[in-house]
Chain A
Amino acid sequence: AQTVTQSQPEMSVQEAETVTLSCTYDTSESDYYLFWYKQPPSRQMILVIRQEAYKQQNATENRFSVNFQKAAKSFSLKISDSQLGDAAMYFCAYRMSDTASKLTFGTGTRLQVTL
C-alpha cells in the first residue's frame, strides 16, 4: 500500500523568508502523480502545485516550487518570499496513474508565518 510521510508536524518561517516542507512516499509504481494541498483556517482544501512522476523538471507555481527526487521518493515544497496568507496546514498527496485510484494524503505540516 502506498504511504505518504510528512515528518514535520509544525514549521515556522518569517515573512519574506523561504521555507521548505518535506514529504516522502512509498510506492512500487513508476508512474504516478504528486500534489501539495493547502488548508487555511477557513478549512477549504486548495491545490498548490502538482508533479507528474514521468517529468524530470520540477513544477513551479509563482512563489511555490517543488524538489522532486524520484529515486529517493521525496517531494518537498519550497515557499519563497513567505506571506502571512501562507499560514496553513500543508498536505502532500500521492495518486497512482489509474483513474480509479485514490488520493493518499500525508499527515500534514502546520506552517506558521511570523512578522
Chain B
Amino acid sequence: DTAVSQTPKYLVTQMGNDKSIKCEQNLGHDTMYWYKQDSKKFLKIMFSYNNKELIINETVPNRFSPKSPDKAHLNLHINSLELGDSAVYFCASSRTGPNQPQHFGDGTRLSIL
C-alpha cells in the first residue's frame, strides 16, 4: 500500500562510517528526489533523477552519491559520515513536469555520534 517507502526509518552511526538509505516508489512515477531537512526544519533538494538520469545535483559534498538502478528506486549512499550530516533525509517521487505534486516518504532520521 505504501507509495514511497524509505528504509531504514532511523539510522544511528558513528562518524567516519559509510551508510546507505534506500527508497522505492510504487506509484509509477518517473522522477525521484532526495531532500535533506536540518534541525531547524529547513528542507533542501539534494538530487533528482528522471528516468534514471540525474537532472538536479545541488551543491552537495561528493561523499553523497545517489544511485538509481531503475525508475522505481533511488538510493543514497553516504561515505565518511560527519556530524553535520545528522538530519532527516526524505525521498520523494512525481510524474515528469514542474506542476506535478511530489509524494514524500516518511523520512530517515540519521544521527551521527
Given A45-B90, A50-B99, A97-B98, A105 contacting B43 (CB threshold 8 A): yes
* B window 30-45: CB within 8 A of A: 33, 40-45
Alpha-carbon distance between A91 and B97 when the two chains are bound, in angstroms: 20
Tell which of B18-26, B75-83, B102-110 binds the partner: B102-110
**B65 an interface residue at 8 Å Cβ cutoff?**
no
**B58 an interface residue at 8 Å Cβ cutoff?**
yes
Chain B: how many interface residues by the 8 Å CB criterion?
26
A102 engages B56 (CB within 8 Å):
yes
A103 engages B99 (CB within 8 Å):
no
Given A33-B99, A50-B99, A96-B98, A44 contacting B44 (CB threshold 8 A): no
* A window 91-115: CB within 8 A of B: 91, 95-105, 107-108
Interface residues on A, range: 20 to 34
**B74 an interface residue at 8 Å Cβ cutoff?**
no
Given A42-B106, A43-B107, A107-B41, A101 contacting B92 (CB threshold 8 A): no
Chain A residue at minimal CB-CB distance from B47: A102
B binding-site residues for A, Cβ under 8 Å: 33, 40-45, 48, 50, 55-56, 58, 88, 90, 92, 96-99, 101-107
A binding-site residues for B, Cβ under 8 Å: 32-33, 35, 39, 42-47, 50, 52, 89, 91, 95-105, 107-108
